[in-house]
Structure 1
Amino acid sequence: MAPLLALIVGAALARLAGLLGVDALDAWQPALRVGLAALFILTGIAHFTPRRRADLIAMVPPRLPRPDLLVTLTGVLELAGAVGLLLPTTARPTAAALAVLMVAMFPANVSAARRRLTLDGRPVTPLLPRTVLQLLFVGTALTISFGP
């Protein structure tokens, strides 16, 4: 739920800043970029914190090799993606790449839900709500990539 809040609060605060005179944020498109960047900063950092890293490694489907390396790689990509979203010249291709990354990582969420894993001591989000969230996140990235 924290990633959803980061997206909503980040976008809303960015849009508010635009309404208050920050020209670079004077539309929903750049505000969405800020919100999605906030989401990826939050999730990217989680890949490197001891408290969450072990849980994320456990989420990687067992058939994939080197789950520790995959978690590191996806964390780096998420953080780099957050930066790319904030740069107007790279925002569109970055958003498209992040949409692909989210689709590629979704099987880990499916695997975690089916194996009833925990994240930070709490059960992972059940599959149906997680799928809805994933569609929202991917849809936001695609809106940034292909929107006005």
Structure 2
Amino acid sequence: MARLVLALAYGYVGTVHLKSPEGFLPIMPAWVPFPREVVLLTGVAEMAGAIGLMIPRLRTAAAWGLAAYAVCVFPANIKHAAEGIAVSGQVLGWSYHGPRLLAQPVLVWWALWAGGITDWPFGRRKG
């Protein structure tokens, strides 16, 4: 069930990236080349990862890809938080950004767990 939830979340967010890339451009760090194209590629990556998680033979690759993706977008999340950038006319405060930034490592773990790469902390105890 947790794998399906993660896949649905990434599928939804990937669709949003593809349908409305302009909404993500303000949070892109200045050093990212071709920001619009990068936003579109992130949408494709999210959707591919979501689909891959649900296909057993692609699951491991999708999990590694989504974990790497979560690491790669972290600078945009930091910029969004640090600069208080309005997205779609709305400025989100630290009540959003704090938990969002703290959740990023959880998203990395969740992808690896959903892909069967790690079973921590739910694995069998060795004794």
Return the TM-score normalized by structure 2. Answer: 0.81
Name 2:14's counterpart in structure 1: 44
Tell me the matched-pair count.
116
More helix by share: 1
CA distance in 1, matches of 2:55, 2:43: 19
Alignment gaps of 5+ in structure 2: 120-127
| CA pair 101-125 structure 1, distance change in 2 beyond 3 A | farther
Letter in 1 for 2:86: T
Name 1:22's counterpart in structure 2: none
Name 2:27's counterpart in structure 1: 59
- Greater RCO between the two (CA within 8 Å, min separation 6)? 2
RMSD: 1.7
Alignment gaps of 5+ in structure 1: 1-30
Letter in 2 for 1:62: A
CA distance in 2, matches of 1:125, 1:142: 29
Residue number among 76, 80, 93 corresponding to 2:48 in the alignment: 80
Name 2:68's counterpart in structure 1: 100
How far did 1:48 drift?
2.1
**Percent identical across equivalent pairs?**
31
Name 2:124's counterpart in structure 1: none
Q: Which stretches of structure 1, 4 residues or longer, exceed 4 Å deviation after superposition?
A: none
- The answer to whether the Cα contact below 8 Å between 2:23 and 2:87 also exists between their aligned partners in 1 is yes
Return the TM-score normalized by structure 1. Answer: 0.71
CA distance in 2, matches of 1:88, 1:118: 39
Letter in 2 for 1:134: Q
